[in-house]
């Protein structure tokens, strides 16, 4: 039974990596957290959190399916009448034979798949969440972009880079549109974080990439979770349209 006073948070890509860390942290902060992922492992992940006393539910969903997204938000409204926090974290960066696809040879179907999940889904989720947040005069949207959306990253394909740059632009636009309703929209642009997605590639390449980080290590998922926790908390209401670069000092803007 969900506490009637609890705020509701929805996190996409929550079965592993950054989404796992973000969903766990928000649940620990007292949010009833809806953990969304196309990987059915999110169900067992949520059960583990529930066993530890956290208020979490799992939703298995393909974010490329816009109709399913609509049903998801409708279900949130019917069950809780509110949505306070949306974290658009889910993202894919498909490779071909373990390497990024060059723009010239990238299959167009792969381009469309990445666009659908990395950019169209956050757009659709955010605009459907907006009326629920506006009703209460309060809301927090956090979009997880990437350093690849800020600068050239040699391991990222054109599709991933374009969607992450687009997500930053989308965040700024929605921040301006939603601000008068008490809703903030911010972006986190992580650098190299210890997740399955970031560890794709040869050992030599990964070692070289980590050597470029001034603080001397890759980031941890819980550090991203802590940043999201701050951005959706009571002390961050004057922050909107911002991009937080969390990359150990690789880029300093």
Catalytic (active-site) positions: 160
Structure tokens at 11: 């996190």
Q: What are phi and psi of 248, to 5 degrees?
A: 70, 15
DSSP string, the chain: ---TT--EEEEESTTSHHHHHHHHHHHHTT-EEEEEESSTHHHHHHHHHHHTT--EEEEE--TT-HHHHHHHHHHHHHHHS---EEEE-------BTTBPPPTTT--HHHHHHHHIIIIIHHHHHHHHHHHHHHHHT-EEEEEE--GGGTS--TTS-HHHHHHHHHHHHHHHHHHHHHGGGTEEEEEEEE-SBSSTTTT-S-HHHHHHHHHT-TTSS-B-HHHHHHHHHHHTSTT-TT--S-EEEESTTSS--
144: CB partners within 8 A, 6+ apart = 18, 22, 87, 88, 89, 91, 187, 188, 190, 224
């Amino acid at each position: 039974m969900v506490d009637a006073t609890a705020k509701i948070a929805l996190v996409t890509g929550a079965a592993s990596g950054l989404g796992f860390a973000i969903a766990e942290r928000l649940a620990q902060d007292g949010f009833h957290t809806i953990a969304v992922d196309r990987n059915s492992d999110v169900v067992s992940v949520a059960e583990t959190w529930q066993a530890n006393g956290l208020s979490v539910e799992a939703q298995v969903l393909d974010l490329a399916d816009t109709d399913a997204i609509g049903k998801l938000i409708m279900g949130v409204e019917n069950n809780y009448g509110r949505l306070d926090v949306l974290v658009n974290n889910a993202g894919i960066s498909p490779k071909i034979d373990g390497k990024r696809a060059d723009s010239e040879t990238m299959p167009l179907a792969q381009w469309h798949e990445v666009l659908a999940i990395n950019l169209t889904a956050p757009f659709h989720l955010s605009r459907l969440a907006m009326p629920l947040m506006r009703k209460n005069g309060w809301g927090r949207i956090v979009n997880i972009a990437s350093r690849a959306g800020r600068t050239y990253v040699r391991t990222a394909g054109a599709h991933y880079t374009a969607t992450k740059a687009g997500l930053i632009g989308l965040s700024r636009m929605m921040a301006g549109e939603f601000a008068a309703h008490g809703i903030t929209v911010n972006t986190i642009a992580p650098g190299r974080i210890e997740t399955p997605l970031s560890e794709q590639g040869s050992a030599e390449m990964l070692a070289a990439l980590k050597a470029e980080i001034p603080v001397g290590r890759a980031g941890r998922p819980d550090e991203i979770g802590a940043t999201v926790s701050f951005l959706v908390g009571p002390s961050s209401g004057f922050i909107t349209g911002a991009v937080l670069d969390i990359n150990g000092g690789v880029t300093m803007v």
